[in-house]
Amino acid sequence: MDEVIRQLPKKASEKLKDNKKFFTRLRKRPPKNLDYLMQELHTAEFQRTDCLNCANCCKTTGPLFTNTDIERISKHFRLKPQKFISEFLEVDEENDYVLQQLPCTFLGADNLCTIYEVRPKACREFPHTDRKKFHKISNLTLKNVAICPAAFNIVEEMKKRIKH
Ligand code: SF4
Ligand code: SF4
């Protein structure tokens, strides 16, 4: 997996032009069965890919923390939300709360999330490949294929399965 992750940004950059064209067409004419297809591709890919051998999202990107995330996680640590924020978070250029440091502070050495039960919503949903109306998050997906090997494979499979 390490080699796959190392090669991923280069492979994603080689596919960028192709992927942009594909998603432009997809946004114009999403197939009727898109939600169903994404569910199928997502499930098949995550049967092959074990996130515990990867954790690249936790190591390189980290999530946004919503206010609800902050309240839930602070409670878990028995901290006041403000204390949790000052210890672990900062505000990014888009005014969102993000981690102060990467890899994520809550990532264990075994790639297990130490706050799994209360982890941010963004962590639960990443890489969003089972999301309904997937064509609406194509700009985000263009970035995610350089981070997440599963998202990369899913987009490659989409290109084979959806003919415009
Ligand atoms: S979601 Fe993607 S980047 Fe994150 S651990 Fe799983 S395969 Fe790796
Ligand atoms: S909170 Fe957990 S799942 Fe989210 S980035 Fe950190 S280690 Fe990964």
pLDDT digits (tens, 9 = 90+) for 34-68: 999 999 999 999 999 999 999 999 999 999 999 99
Q: 123-163, pLDDT tens digit by residue?
A: 999 999 999 999 999 999 999 999 999 999 999 999 999 98
What type of residue sits at position 102? L
Tell me what pLDDT residue 140 has: 95
d(CA 20, CA 30): 14
Task: Give pTM, 2 decimals.
Answer: 0.94
- Does residue 163 or residue 29 have the better pLDDT? 29
The tokens for 152 are 């990369």
Distance 66 CA to ligand 2 centre (A): 14
d(CA 131, CA 135): 9
Which-ligand-closest: CA of 55? 1
Q: What's the 3-state SS for the chain?
A: CHHHHHHHHHHHHHHHHHHHHHHHHHHHCCCCCHHHHHHHHHHHHHHHCCHHHCCHHHHHCCCEECHHHHHHHHHHHCCCHHHHHHHHEEECCCCCEEECCCCCCCECCCCCECCHHHCCHHHHHCCCCCCCCHHHHHHHHHHHCCCCHHHHHHHHHHHHHCCC
Atom of ligand 1 nearest to the CA of 150: 7
Q: Which one of 88, 105, 106 would you pick to mutate in the ligand 2 pocket, going by the greatest count of ligand atoms within 8 A of its CB?
A: 106
Distance 68 CA to ligand 1 centre (A): 23
Cβ–Cβ under 8 Å, residues 73 and 84: yes
Distance 111 CA to ligand 2 centre (A): 9
Tell me what pLDDT residue 51 has: 97
Q: Which residues have a Cβ under 8 Å from the Cβ of 158 and sit 6 or more positions away?
A: 22, 26, 37, 38, 41
Tell me what pLDDT residue 46 has: 97
Tell me what pLDDT residue 163 has: 82
Q: 90-109, pLDDT tens digit by residue?
A: 999 999 999 999 999 999 99
d(CA 50, CA 116): 16
Tell me what pLDDT residue 17 has: 97
Tell me what pLDDT residue 112 has: 97
Residue among 106, 72, 101, 99 at smallest CA distance from 85: 99
Atom of ligand 2 nearest to the CA of 124: 3
Is the predicted pLDDT of residue 164 greater than 80, yes or no? no
